[in-house]
Amino acid sequence: MEKNDKNRTIALAAVFQASALVRKLAVEGSADEDDRRAIIASLFQDDVNSIDEVYGGLPKLRSGFTLLSGLLSNPSTSPETVDITRYAIGLLHLEAQLRKQPAMGEKILKGIEDAERQRAYFDDVLHPSVIGKLADTYQDTISTLGPRIMVKGEQEHLGDPDTAANIRATLLGGIRAAVLWQQAGGSKFKLMLRRRKMVEAARYFLNHC
């Protein structure tokens, strides 16, 4: 993958989109199905020519681009923004931890392969069996790394097995986006240096997709 602002912007937008979905699920018990589908489906895309194809086209990340352009240009201290930003930072940190444990990476790939068989059988990336397998994979691997992402929300949703599974599967999709961010040359330093360019890129994508 080329290390450029375009690819970094797309990857980081996906991280933020996943983070926003996690918060929505935790607080409200549901989240936009199309946005969720893009994040979950990305886990099964490993033979593509560009990062755009990982998400089925840039329009699938409109929510992420909107969040990214807003948060980077005019940061807010609202509870929602704070939670989303915290989850995004947590995903980027966990990806860095994961890079130090190749055996865990192989275990995640095996879990995704098992989920892919379920996806092929049910022909739906959001089928409960697919989500359940991805959630188990996240719980058995990423959630053992530290510090864990502590998801805040309503207990009635956090305690619901289906919602909890959707949250974990979405976090795994967020890790996928964080991997792409790193592969595109993303880092804290790069974000500070290229912040304005990434805002411009996010706004361009919003206007042209």
- The string of pLDDT tens digits covering residues 164-186 is 999 999 999 999 999 999 999 99
Predicted local confidence at residue 188, as pLDDT? 86
- Is 90 exceeded by the pLDDT of residue 109? yes
- The string of pLDDT tens digits covering residues 13-28 is 999 999 999 999 999 9
Which residue range(s) make up the domain with 20? 5-208
Identify which of 92, 99, 100 has the alpha carbon closest to the alpha carbon of residue 191: 92
d(CA 180, CA 10): 9
Percent of the chain past pLDDT 70, that is, above it, reads 100
Domain count, the chain: 1
- Is 90 exceeded by the pLDDT of residue 7? yes
For residue 6, the Cα-to-chain-centroid distance in whole angstroms is 17
Predicted local confidence at residue 48, as pLDDT? 85
Average pLDDT on 134-156 reads: 96
Cis peptide before 147 (omega within 30 of 0): yes
Amino acid at 162: D
Tell me the CATH number at 183: 1.10.3890.10
- The string of pLDDT tens digits covering residues 55-103 is 999 999 999 999 999 988 887 789 999 999 999 999 999 999 999 999 9
Contact 50, 58 (CB under 8 A): no
